Structure 1
Amino acid sequence: MILAEAKDDILLKRMMGPFCITVAFFFFQFLAESLTAQEHIADATIRFYDLTLPLISALLVLYRKKALPILGVFFLYSISCHPLSAKLTLTSQLMAALISQLLYYWNTGKRGAVSFGRSQLTPRRIGWLVCCNSLLYVIFHHWLQANFDPESATEIFTVQTLINLQWMMNSCITGIPFCYLLLRVCHKPAWGLQYLRHVKASVKSGPSILYQAIWWFLLLIIMYCLISNNINTLLFTDYSLLWLLPVMLWGTVRIGHALVAPVWVIILALLGNYIDGYISIANTLTNANHLHSLIISSTTIFIFSLTIVATGVISAHNRKYSQHVSRLYRSEPNTGLLNFQALSMDIDKHSAEALCLIRCPELNELEQTYGVEFRFEFVKALSSYITGLLPCCDQVYYSPGHGIILRLNTLPDVPVFYRSLRVFRFQWKTSILGLNCGVAYTSDKRIIRNLSEAIKQLNINSYISLLHGRPLSLSPTVPGDNIVESGVIRDVLQQAIDRQSLMLMAQPIVSTVLSAQPVISVRGKIHYHEILIRLKTADDKLIFPDTFLPLARKGGLLPALDITVIEQTFRFMQSRKTSDPDCYFSINLTPESLYQTDFLDNVSTLFKKYSIAPHRIIFEIIESEILDNDNASDILRSLRNAGSKIAIDDFGTGSSSYDRLRILNADILKIDGSFIKNIIDDPFSYCAVKSFCEMAKLKNMEIVAEFVENEEIAQLLTEMGIDWLQGYHIGKPIPVEQAEL
C-alpha cells in the first residue's frame, strides 16, 4: 500500500507540472494580449510591442516537444473564441514560432534550452528566434490575410509592414528572454530564487546607492517625458528617445543585464501603449508624416534593444571572466581554497574577531609516502570538516607554507573545537588516518591588523600547541623572550655551518675499570668526551639540538652539519696537540650523512688535513634501519679499518635490536638512557640492561650507560659490569675549551 501511495504521489507531481505550466502560459498570454497596442493607419493595422510570439517561442525553447500539447489547446481556444483577424494573427505566430524553433534546435541541439545571456548562443538566437521568427510571422500573416481575409489584406512591401516587422523583432529580442524567465520561475521556483540572488549580487557589487538612485531618477524622468501627452515641448516628443540609450547602457554595464533586461521590457511595453505620448497623430499633418515618425522611432528602439542585449551579453561575459581571474588570483591552485593574498585583502575589507591557524607537520613525511596529492586532498577534506564545525567561520584559507587559516566572525569554544579536530579521520585509498594538528589562535585586533607578523607568531605557537597537546592562544606576551622563531634558528644554523662557528660542548664518559688494563675503545684511558653542539644567537640565547636538528633535517643540512662538527673538533684537537696529545672524542653521525657517497672521502681528507690519528675518534650512530643500508655499512667498515671505533647510540629503542646486535660489527654499545634512569625501581629495565650487557660481551663490545644521575645508579651499573658511565652525575656538558682532557 505504501508503495502504491508513493507511485500515486509521483504520478500526481508529474501531472501537476504540465498543468501548472499550462495555467501559467494562458495567464501570461492574457496579460500579453492586454498589454499589446495597435493602431490602424492608411488601411493597415500596426501592432506595437507584442509578447504573444515571444511567449510561444519561449515555451518551445524551454519545453520543445512537451510544449506542443499546450500550444494545441491554445490554438483550439483561439479558433473558437477569437475573431477572424485575431485567429489569423495567432496562427501566423504559431507557424512562425514552430518553424524557427525547429531551425534553432537543428542548429544548437539540446544546449539551446539553457538560460539566455550566454555569449556563445546569442548570435544564433538573434538569427533564428528574432530575425527568422519575425520575418516568418510577417510573411505568414500576409499570406493568411490574402487567402482568408482579402478585405483587410494589403501589399507586403509597405511602410506599415516594415514598422510591424521592426516592432516584432523588438518584441522577440527582449520578450523571449523575459517570457523564458517567467515560465522557468513557474516551473522551478528555486531557479527563480537563484536568479534573484544573482540580481542582488549584481546590484551589490555595482556602483554606490547614490549612483543607482540617480540612474533610476533619470530613467523615470525620461519615461515621464515620453508617455505624457504634452506636445508643446521638445522633451515630450520622440527626441527623448535618444536619451534612453546612454542611460540604459550605463545600467547594463554597471548594474548588470539581469536587472536591466526586465526593466527594458517594461519600458518597451509602456512605449508601445503610450506611443501617442511622444508621436501624436494630432501633431502630424498627414498619415505619411505620422508613419515616417513611427518608422524612425521603431528603428531607433530596435537598434537600442539590439545594442542593450549585445552590451549586456558582452558585459556579463567580461564580468564572469573578471571574476574567474579574481578567483584564480585569490585561490590556491591545488586545493581551490582561498590563499594568503585573499586573506590579506579580506582582512583589509572586513573586520575579523579572531584568526586561527591549524598546522599539521606530519603532512611533510606522509607526502613522501603517499605523494603530493595526499596533502591537497587532506587539506580539502579537513577544510570541509572545519566548515561544518564552525558556522561562525567566515572563510577558510590555505597557505602551503603555513597551513589552514580561519578568519572568524566570533571566537568559538576553542577547546571543544580542538577536541573535535582530533576526532577527524582522513581516508586515503585503503588507509584511514588521524593526524595531530597544532592549533594557535588570537582575538587581539592589534595582532590581526599586522597580518604577516600574526601568521608568523601563530605558526610558532602551532608547533608549541602540537607538543603540548592543547590549543594555544596568542597574545603579545604569550611567545615570551625564550622562543626563537624558526626563521631565526635556520639563519643562525646556516651561518654557523658556513663560518664553522658551532658551539662545541664536551661531556665526560668515565671508565668503571680503574686498573691500568687497556680497553678496546680508548687504549687504557680512564675517560674520554662526547662532543655535543649548541647554537648561540646574536643576543646570546642558546638553542639546543632538539630544536635546530629538525630544521636541519628538513633543510637537508645534516650532512654539512656533521662535517662541520668533525672539522671543528679536529681543529680543536690540533690546537691541543702539545698540551693534550692523547685526548679522545666521540662524535655523533646522523643517518643522512652515511647516505652520502662522498662522506668517507671528506672525513679521510680531514684526518689528513689536521693530522689526527683515526684511533682517537669514536663515531656514534643511532641504532636504526640505517644499519641495514649497504652504503652506510661500507662507510662504517672503512672507518673501523682506518682505526676509528664505532659506537651504537641509544641502543634498545629501535626495532629488532637483538637481531641487529647479532649481525652488526661495532666496538661500543651505548644503552639508551630510558632504561638506565629506571633501573633501580623497574625490574624490566634492570633485566633489559643485564641482557644487553651479556650479549655485548659475547660480541666483545664495550658498554656505555647513559643518563647516570646518581651514585646509586652508578654503583649498580658498575656491579653489573658496565664499562663506561655518562650522565650528569659523572659530569655535565661544558665548552670543550674548559674540559679536562
Structure 2
Amino acid sequence: MPLTIMALPGGIKKHFVLCISFFLLYLLADTLSSSIQIIGVSLKLYDLTLPVISALLVLYSFRALPTLGLFALYSFCSHPLSHFLYTIAQLMAALTSYTIYFYAAGKRSIVSFGRSQLSAQRIIWMICVNTIVFTLLHQLILQKSHFFATFDEKIWSIPTLISMQWMMTSCLTGIPFCYLILRACYKPVWFFSYLKQLKEIIIFGPKAVYQIVWILLLVGLMCCLVYIKRDDIIFTDYSLVWLLPVMLWGAICLGHALIAPLWVLMLILLSDSIDNYITLERTFTVDHYIFHLALASSVIFVFSLTIVIVGVMTTRIRKYIRHLKRISLSEPHTGLPNLQALKNDIIRLNSVRLCMLQCPELNTLTQNHGIAFRFEFVKAVVRYLNPLLSDNEKIYYSPGYGILLRLDSINVDRIDSYYQAMSAFRFSWEEMKLGLNFGIAHTVYDQSVNNLSHMVGLLNASTFISLQQGKPEALNLTSSGDDAMSIGVIRHYLQKSIDRQSFVLVAQPIVSTKGHEKYHEVLIRMKMAGNKLCFPNTFLPLAYDAGLLAEVDMAVIEQTFRFINSLDEEHASSRFSINLTPQSLIKNDFQDRLYALFKAYSIRPDRIIFEIIESDIIDSINASRVLRELRKLGCKIAIDDFGTGESSYLRLKNLEADILKIDGSFIRNVVENEFDRFTVMSFCEAANFKNLEVVAEFVENEEIEKMLVTMGVGWLQGYHTGKPAPIESLF
C-alpha cells in the first residue's frame, strides 16, 4: 500500500492523504462528542463532527465535494438511519453556509484562522448560519421521518436551545481546530512553522513565572469542574465564571494561535464531564436542571466568543506592532535597515567594523532629477555591493549620511577592493549612464564609543577627506569620542549665550598714527563650564551650520550698546567697531531690529563702525542696500581681512565703504618680505584713491609699526599697540 501511494501523481496523492485524514478526524470527533439524556431526549453537547466537515470546505473549498460524497456513501452503508440523517443534515448545513461564506469573502475565504479581517464573516456564516441551518434541517428531517410527533414543540424547546448553543460553541472553536489538524496533514511544512510560532510565543511571551501561575490556575479550575465531584460551590458551575478572566489573560498575553487549541481540549473535557459540576441531584426539579444546563451552555458560548475575539484582536495588534517595528528599523523609500537597526545590531554584536560610502554629487543630481533618482541610485549600489559581502554582513542606509556596510573584518586590501569596485560602478538612469565618485571611510566601533550618531557624523566627514585624497580614509575613534560629544556641549552654550546675551566681550584698541583718538574693536568669547573661554574659531562654524550667525550678531550688538549706554559723559565720544557677518545683511528684519536698538539705547550712529568680511553675499542687492542705509544713518563701514577674499580689487571698486582693514597675513612679514611690502603699498594706494582710511592688523612689534607709518598707514591694530581686554575694564 505505501508503494502504491508513492507511485500516485502529486495532486492525487495529496487528495488521498486529505481524504484519509478527514475520515480519521471525523471518526475521532464522533468518538469525542458528548451527549446527555433529558426526559427521554438525547442532547448533543460539544460536537466536533460538523466543524470537521466545515473545516474541510474552508481548507479545500468545493474540491472537497468528492470526499464529502464518499463520506455520505460510507455513512449510509455503515450507520443506522438516524445517524445517517444526522450526517446529511450536517453536510447540507455545511455546504449551504460555506457557499454563502465563499461568495461573501471571495478568494480570501481559504486563509488560515486568526485573521481579524475575516472573523466577522466566519462568525456570521460558518457559525451562526451553519448552526441554525443544521438545527432546522435536522429537526425537519427527523419530523418528516416520524422520529418526532410534533415539529414545533421540539424545535422551540429549551433542550433544543441548549443544543444550538453548544453547536455554536463547537463551530466557533472546532472549525479552526479541525482546520489546523487537516492542514497539518495536508501541508506538514506549514505545521512545523506553526509549532515554531508557538515556541516563539512561549519563549518571548510573559515571564516564565507568570506562565506557570497561569497554568496552575487553569489546572486547578479544571480539576474543580471535571475531576472532583462534591457539593461545595467551587465544584459546581460557579467555577465556570472564573475560567473567563484566566483564559482572557492567556488570549491577551499569548494570542490566538496557542489559546484556541487549548480551549478546544478544555471544552471537550467540560462537556464530557458536565455531570460532575451540573447534576440532577443538586437541583430540586428537572426544570432547575435544564435551566442550569441552558445557563452553562450560554456562558460557555459567550466565553468562547470573547476568548476568540480577544485572541484574534491581540494577534492583529501584535502583527501591527511587529509591522511598526519593521518600519522603525528600515528606511521607507529603499527598505534598507536604518541607523536604529545598526544600533540594535551593535548592541547584539558588541563590536563591529563599519565602512561608509558617500557620494556628494548625488545631492546635485537629486535636485536635477528628483528624489526618485536618489533612492534608485542607492538601490542600484546595494545590488552592486551585495555579492561582495558575506552572509553575516549587512548594508544600512540613512538619507542624511550615506550607505553603511557592517563587515566581519576590515583590512587595507579589502577596503581598496571596494574603492576600486565603486570607481568602476555605473548607474543607468533613463538614457544616461553615470559614473559617480565615492568617498569611503572605515572604522571599528564598539561599546566604548557611546554615541553612534556622532560617530556616523565623523565617518561621514571622513568620506569627504577620502574623496579629496582619492583613497579610502581610516577613522580612529580612540580620541575622537570626547570631541564628538563636545560639539553638542558647545552648541548648547552657544544657544544659551544667544538667548541670555551673555557673550564675553573684549575690546582691542585701534590706534592712530596721526594723533586721532583711538577706538576699539569688539571681539567675543563664549563662557563654558568652569569659566573656560571658547574662542570664535570654535563656535562660529557651529553657528554658521545652525543658521545662527545673524542671532550672534544681534546679541553682540545689543550687549555692546548696553555697555556704551552705561558710560558717563566723559566717554561720550568713544567709538566701537563691531563685526557683522554677511548673513546678517541679507536678513529682511536686520535693519528694523538694528534701528530699534539704536533708539532703545540712545546710541549715536557715528560712534559705531561695522566691520564686514569679503564674501559673495555682500555683493547681493539687499546687502548693498543695507550698507548704504547704514552709512546714511551715520555709521561707518569697514572691509575686514582685505586681500583674503575672491576678486578683492573688483569688490573694492564696487563697494561703498569708509575703512579698509588689511589682513594680518600681509602685515606679519611686511618687513622681511618684499612681496608683502609691495602688496600693502598697493592696498594703501587703492584706499587713498577711494578716500578710505587704512587699518593694518597684526602689528606685533615696533619694526612693523615703523614700516607701516612710512607707508602712510593711518591706523594700527595688534598686540604691540594694545592687547584685547574685557570691555568693562576700558574706562
TM superposition score category, shorter chain reference: 0.5 to 0.7
Give the alignment of 1:251-330 within 5 angstroms: 251-254=247-250, 255-256=253-254, 258=256, 259-271=258-270, 297=293, 300-301=296-297, 303-314=299-310, 317=313
Secondary structure of 2:657 counterpart: coil
Structure 1, 464-473 or 93-102: larger mean CA deviation: 464-473
Match of 2:88 among 73, 91, 94: 91
Task: Output the CA distance in 1 between the equivalents of 2:702 and 2:186.
Answer: 90
Secondary structure of 2:610 counterpart: strand
- Whichever residue aligns with residue 610 of structure 2, its letter is F
CA contact (8 A) 2:659 2:692 kept: yes
Task: Output the CA distance in 2 between the equivalents of 1:292 and 1:681.
Answer: 121
Give the alignment of 1:360-399 within 5 angstroms: none
Query: Cα distance, 1:621 vs. partner?
Result: 1.1
Query: Cα distance, 1:165 vs. partner?
Result: 3.9
CA contact (8 A) 1:36 1:49 kept: no
Q: Deviations over 1:13-44 (max 9, x none)?
A: xx957964763464144123123236796997
Match of 1:243 among 218, 239, 247: 239
Match of 1:503 among 505, 512, 515: 505
1:487 is matched with 492
- Whichever residue aligns with residue 95 of structure 2, its letter is L
- Whichever residue aligns with residue 590 of structure 1, its letter is T
1:12 is matched with none
Q: Does 1:136 align with 2:133?
A: yes
CA contact (8 A) 2:161 2:294 kept: no
CA contact (8 A) 2:247 2:307 kept: no
Match of 2:655 among 664, 669, 677: 664
CA contact (8 A) 1:36 1:273 kept: no
CA contact (8 A) 1:438 1:464 kept: no
1:5 is matched with none
Q: Does 1:633 align with 2:624?
A: yes
Query: Cα distance, 1:175 vs. partner?
Result: 0.5
Give the alignment of 1:513-592 within 5 angstroms: 525=516, 529-536=520-527, 539-549=530-540, 554=546, 557-564=551-558, 566-567=560-561, 570-571=564-565, 577=571, 585-592=576-583
Secondary structure of 2:626 counterpart: helix
- Whichever residue aligns with residue 646 of structure 1, its letter is I
Q: Does 1:176 align with 2:181?
A: no
Distance change (3 Å), C-alpha of 1:733 and 1:106: farther
Task: Output the CA distance in 2 between the equivalents of 1:613 and 1:143.
Answer: 107
Unaligned stretches of 5+ residues in structure 2: 1-8, 353-359, 466-474
CA contact (8 A) 1:25 1:183 kept: no
- Whichever residue aligns with residue 138 of structure 1, its letter is T
CA contact (8 A) 2:54 2:98 kept: yes
Task: Output the CA distance in 1 between the equivalents of 2:670 and 2:90.
Answer: 101
Query: Cα distance, 1:50 vs. partner?
Result: 3.3
Task: Output the CA distance in 1 between the equivalents of 2:200 and 2:140.
Answer: 48
Give the alignment of 1:191-210 within 5 angstroms: 199=198, 203=202, 208-210=207-209
Q: Deviations over 1:304-335 (max 9, x none)?
A: 13323224424654796699899999x99999
Query: Cα distance, 1:707 vs. partner?
Result: 5.4
Task: Output the CA distance in 1 between the equivalents of 2:674 and 2:323.
Answer: 64
Count of paired positions: 646
Match of 2:47 among 47, 50, 57: 50
Give the alignment of 1:100-179 within 5 angstroms: 100-105=97-102, 107=104, 116-117=113-114, 122=119, 124-144=121-141, 150=145, 156=151, 157-158=153-154, 164-179=163-178
Task: Output the CA distance in 2 between the equivalents of 1:574 and 1:18.
Answer: 108
- Whichever residue aligns with residue 619 of structure 1, its letter is F
Match of 1:234 among 212, 230, 235: 230
Task: Output the CA distance in 1 between the equivalents of 2:117 and 2:677.
Answer: 82
Match of 2:69 among 75, 85, 97: 75
Task: Output the CA distance in 2 between the equivalents of 1:301 and 1:547.
Answer: 79
- Whichever residue aligns with residue 640 of structure 2, its letter is D
Distance change (3 Å), C-alpha of 1:585 and 1:177: same
- Whichever residue aligns with residue 636 of structure 1, its letter is L
CA contact (8 A) 1:219 1:244 kept: no
Secondary structure of 1:234 counterpart: coil
- Whichever residue aligns with residue 96 of structure 2, its letter is I
Q: Does 1:27 align with 2:21?
A: yes
Query: Cα distance, 1:300 vs. partner?
Result: 2.1
Task: Output the CA distance in 2 between the equivalents of 1:620 and 1:662.
Answer: 17
Give the alignment of 1:9-20 within 5 angstroms: 20=14
Query: Cα distance, 1:532 vs. partner?
Result: 1.3
CA contact (8 A) 2:21 2:182 kept: no
Secondary structure of 1:626 counterpart: helix
Identity of counterpart residues, as a percentage? Answer: 33
Task: Output the CA distance in 2 between the equivalents of 1:740 and 1:39.
Answer: 107
- Whichever residue aligns with residue 506 of structure 1, its letter is Q
1:11 is matched with none
Query: Cα distance, 1:97 vs. partner?
Result: 1.2
Task: Output the CA distance in 2 between the equivalents of 1:390 and 1:567.
Answer: 65
Q: Deviations over 1:103-129 (max 9, x none)?
A: 334555556556545667655533322
Secondary structure of 1:36 counterpart: helix
Query: Cα distance, 1:262 vs. partner?
Result: 0.8
Distance change (3 Å), C-alpha of 1:240 and 1:74: same
Task: Output the CA distance in 2 between the equivalents of 1:436 and 1:353.
Answer: 23
Distance change (3 Å), C-alpha of 1:105 and 1:538: closer
- Whichever residue aligns with residue 580 of structure 2, its letter is L
CA contact (8 A) 1:51 1:171 kept: yes
CA contact (8 A) 1:460 1:485 kept: no
- Whichever residue aligns with residue 591 of structure 1, its letter is P
CA contact (8 A) 1:249 1:311 kept: no
Query: Cα distance, 1:80 vs. partner?
Result: 5.1
Task: Output the CA distance in 2 between the equivalents of 1:686 and 1:77.
Answer: 113
TM (norm. structure 2) is: 0.64
Distance change (3 Å), C-alpha of 1:478 and 1:612: closer
CA contact (8 A) 2:248 2:310 kept: no
- Whichever residue aligns with residue 62 of structure 2, its letter is L
CA contact (8 A) 1:162 1:295 kept: no
Distance change (3 Å), C-alpha of 1:310 and 1:459: closer
Task: Output the CA distance in 1 between the equivalents of 2:137 and 2:50.
Answer: 13
Secondary structure of 2:531 counterpart: coil
Secondary structure of 1:563 counterpart: helix
Task: Output the CA distance in 2 between the equivalents of 1:191 and 1:257.
Answer: 18
Structure 1, 621-630 or 665-674: larger mean CA deviation: 665-674
- Whichever residue aligns with residue 588 of structure 1, its letter is N
2:468 is matched with none
CA contact (8 A) 1:173 1:306 kept: no
Query: Cα distance, 1:79 vs. partner?
Result: 1.4
CA contact (8 A) 2:166 2:301 kept: no
2:471 is matched with none
2:469 is matched with none
Unaligned stretches of 5+ residues in structure 1: 1-14, 356-362, 405-409, 449-453, 517-523
Structure 1, 530-539 or 429-438: larger mean CA deviation: 429-438
Task: Output the CA distance in 1 between the equivalents of 2:517 and 2:690.
Answer: 22
Task: Output the CA distance in 1 between the equivalents of 2:477 and 2:248.
Answer: 51
2:470 is matched with none
CA contact (8 A) 1:623 1:650 kept: yes
CA contact (8 A) 1:588 1:620 kept: yes
Secondary structure of 1:665 counterpart: coil
Give the alignment of 1:346-425 within 5 angstroms: none
CA contact (8 A) 1:252 1:260 kept: no
TM (norm. structure 1) is: 0.63
CA contact (8 A) 2:98 2:126 kept: yes
Secondary structure of 1:557 counterpart: helix
2:724 is matched with 734
